[in-house]
Structure 1
Amino acid sequence: MFNLNFFKQKSPQQRFLFILGLTMLLMYFAIGVVLIFTNILSLDPDKFPKQYQIAFGVVLIVYGAIRFARLINQKDSD
């Protein structure tokens, strides 16, 4: 799983990419939550019905979780 010593041994480039991956996870999660629970985006209900908004939000959250799992389980290539 997540090993803090492995994170300390990474190069600065690998650490940056790890933090960028975490940021993208938060972005996917935030957009998914906004689509599901709020009406901030003011999408046209005729073109993008509420059930599709919920489905797309769930897909974004699941995709973010899959990317996070791959990021955590990534092995050092060196």
Structure 2
Amino acid sequence: MFNLNYFKQKSPQQRFLFILGLTMFLFYLVLGSILIFWKNLIPLEMEAKYRIIFGVGLIVYALIRFYRLINQKDTIER
């Protein structure tokens, strides 16, 4: 699944995109958690059930992004 030696062989651009992908994963994960657990969202007035559904959807999307990020292969032919 995740090979640390493969990560060491990446170019600086690929490493930057990997770190950016991890940052976006964390962003969606935190945003989904905030929507679920923060009760008083002032700018976003939604019913609790819709807020929870949207939060769970964001967390599932974050997990899908993380899975695709970890399992991506080198696309450059050598």
TM-score normalized by the length of structure 1: 0.91
Equivalent pairs: percent with the same residue?
67
Give the Å deviation of 1:40.
4.7
> 3-state DSSP class of the match of 2:10?
coil
The CA deviation at 1:39 is 2.5
Q: Pairwise CA RMSD of aligned residues? A: 0.9
* Contact 1:34/1:40 (8 A) holds in 2: no
Unaligned runs of 5+ in 1: none
Distance 2:75 2:40 in 1: 42
The equivalent residue for 2:61 is: 63
- Distance, in Å, in 1 between the alignment partners of 2:6 and 2:55 is 32
Could you list the runs of 5+ residues in structure 2 that have no partner in the other structure?
Answer: none
Task: Give the structure-2-normalised TM-score.
Answer: 0.91
